[in-house]
Structure 1
Amino acid sequence: MSFVAKAVLAGVLALGVGAGGVAYMNSDTDTEVAKDGTLALTIKSTNGTHAFIVERAKTQDEQARGLMFRTDLKPDGGMLFWPYPPTGGAPVAASFWMKNTPSSLDILYIRADGTIARIAENTVPFSETPIPSGEPVGAVLELMGGRAAELGIAEGDLVTWDKGAK
């Protein structure tokens, strides 16, 4: 799975989305430890807390590569674009697209306070139509297409992760 992102940074800075080669972990197995490049993340919704082990795209190159050309995303996996923008600073309006992304994704735009500002559900594979955040965000999370609805994740839900992670 993959896609390309666009970010507005005092103009328009084109970014992509994805990363490769990191094993996903099973979130219901307490004995496993996240491997390099992954991060434990939870989403608190009205029906409970949902755990994920996600890859982290933190640099401009990692965010440019993102999940492009990938088909290996797991139900408890995903990719977190944080910090967003990778250059740091204040949250910015984000716009992602699905160019070179063979599978549908749910794109969750996350405010600086950790709440979900917008969910773009079941995005269209390979589409070059921009998918805007609608407001400034500090992070973006991609999950398998349809996963947010399946788990009852909604706008306003709280996303948390270790913000001290390197």
Structure 2
Amino acid sequence: MVKQTEIKFTKEGELTIFKADSTQINLDIEIADTEFDRETGLMYRDAMQPKQGMLFVFDDVRERYFYMKNTRISLDIIYIGANNKIVSFQKNAKPFDESSLPSNLPAKYVLEVNAGLADQWQLAVNDSISFVKTH
């Protein structure tokens, strides 16, 4: 049996979530902005820190469908529109579940964080994000 190498988190940017009550949540992010990175996502990871996430950046704005193939950790999937505002959530996505998890609304960005954090942080539709690449 081939042992899959664990992939380590590589900080590629910083993301801030701006909530309606003016509080902010700051995360270190990996950025998935190539076809390969978007297809691979967080597959084969054993863990992610609470203040880490992966931001998927797409070239177009349309309904997105994510799934958890080869993904070992439960995730909250946060769909974000072209205006940088949260449009929908798929919370507590189960490891290895290949069912489709639709955004139900057009999205340009998708942020994946550890399952439970969207509720813990009390994120809501229309909260907004900004992000910068750090390298």
Identify whether the pair has TM-score above 0.5, normalized to the shorter chain.
Answer: yes
Q: Is the 8 A contact 1:40 1:161 kept in 2?
A: yes
- Structure 1 counterpart of 2:4: none
Residue of structure 1 equivalent to 2:117 = 147
Looking at structure 2, the residues matched to 104 and 72 of structure 1 have their Cα atoms a distance apart, in angstroms, of 9
Q: Distance in 2 between matches of 1:22 and 1:124?
A: 20
Q: Which runs of 5+ in 1 are unaligned?
A: 1-19, 24-34
Q: Which amino acid aligns with 2:90?
A: A
Letter in 2 for 1:41: L
The one-character-per-residue Cα deviations of 1:111-132 (angstroms, maximum 9, x if unpaired) are 0000000011111111111000
What is the aligned counterpart of 1:116 among 77, 81, 86?
A: 86
Q: Distance in 2 between matches of 1:154 and 1:71?
A: 27
| Equivalences for residues 18-97 of structure 1 within 5 A | 20-23=7-10, 35=11, 38-47=12-21, 48-82=23-57, 84=58, 88=59, 90-97=60-67
**Greater shift after overlay, 133-142 or 38-47?**
38-47
Q: CA RMSD in A?
A: 1.8
Show the counterpart of 1:106: 76
More strand per residue: 1 or 2?
2
The one-letter code sitting in structure 2 at the alignment partner of 1:81 is F
Aligned residues: 129
- The question of whether the paired residues in 1 share the 8 Å contact of 2:47 and 2:73 is answered with no
Deviation readout 1:48-68 (Å, 9 max, x if unpaired):
100001100110011111100
Check the 8 A contact 1:46/1:152 in 2, yes or no. Answer: no
